[in-house]
Amino acid sequence: MKLSECNIGFAITGSFCTFDKIKSQIKVLKDEGANITPVFSFNTFNMDTRFAKAKDFIEDVKRITGKEGMSTIQHAETVGPSRLFDVLVIAPCTGNTMAKLANGITDTPVLMAAKAHLRNNLPLVISISTNDALGINLQNIGRLMIMKNIYFVPFGQDDYEKKPNSMIANVSMIPKTIEYALNSKQLQPVLI
């Protein structure tokens, strides 16, 4: 499947320092002709930070995608029964979201969209961004890596001296990871 024929759910969680890079990847996918529907976590939708005001970020994403997106659990629940997406991307995927996903917790719009999407045996792409990937969240990364239909954007340590447990995905590889995931393959090498 070409990206120009693809319905992509793009779920965004609160790794606020990556938001500019995430917006640029949404634009790349849109420029490829993908039909993109944003899904916002509660924190992304409501929390102002030193990196961005929530309202401004949401408006930027809506402008790029041309869609309001989903910001409630009730709206995200429709992803499954309606088979809305060919692929769902969680980018950035925080350690908090990863831990909840790995343990079946569904308390945000992003997690509900993921649960609803996975019930259709369709690919879920995870682009991690977490300061504790090589700490307590390593077990959750492992759990998710062995689950059917879950694929990772290649990732590695972003600052091994100052933040030795921190890992982040190479977001420029999101489009290629999507292409592989649509063919039931993990882009390699996954650890960079």
Structure confidence by residue, pLDDT tens digits, 152-190:
999 999 989 999 999 999 999 999 999 999 999 999 999
pLDDT surpassing 90 at residue 26: yes
Kindly tell me the burial class for residue 169, based on how many C-beta atoms sit within 10 Å of its own C-beta (0-12, 13-18, 19 or more).
buried
86 near 2, Cβ under 8 Å?
no
Q: List, in order, residues 6 or more apart from 174 with CB less than 8 Å away.
A: 25, 28, 29, 89, 91, 125, 127, 153
Cα-based angle 84, 170, 184 (whole degrees, multiple of 5): 45
Q: Note the pLDDT of residue 83.
A: 97
**How far is residue 17's CA from residue 134's CA, in Å, rounded to a whole number?**
19
pLDDT, tens digit, for every residue of 127-141?
999 999 999 999 999
Domain range 3-182, CATH architecture: 3-Layer(aba) Sandwich (3.40)
Q: List, in order, residues 6 or more apart from 14 with CB less than 8 Å away.
A: 41, 43, 44, 47, 92, 94, 96
Q: Note the pLDDT of residue 181.
A: 98
Residue 17's pLDDT band (cuts 50, 70, 90) = confident
Q: Note the pLDDT of residue 7.
A: 98
Q: Note the pLDDT of residue 54.
A: 87
pTM, entire model: 0.96
pLDDT surpassing 90 at residue 18: no
Q: Note the pLDDT of residue 123.
A: 98
Q: Note the pLDDT of residue 61.
A: 97
Q: What is the dihedral of CA 62, 63, 65, 67, to 10 degrees?
A: 50
Domain residue ranges of the chain, discontinuous segments joined by +:
3-182
pLDDT, tens digit, for every residue of 100-134?
999 999 999 999 999 999 999 999 999 999 999 99
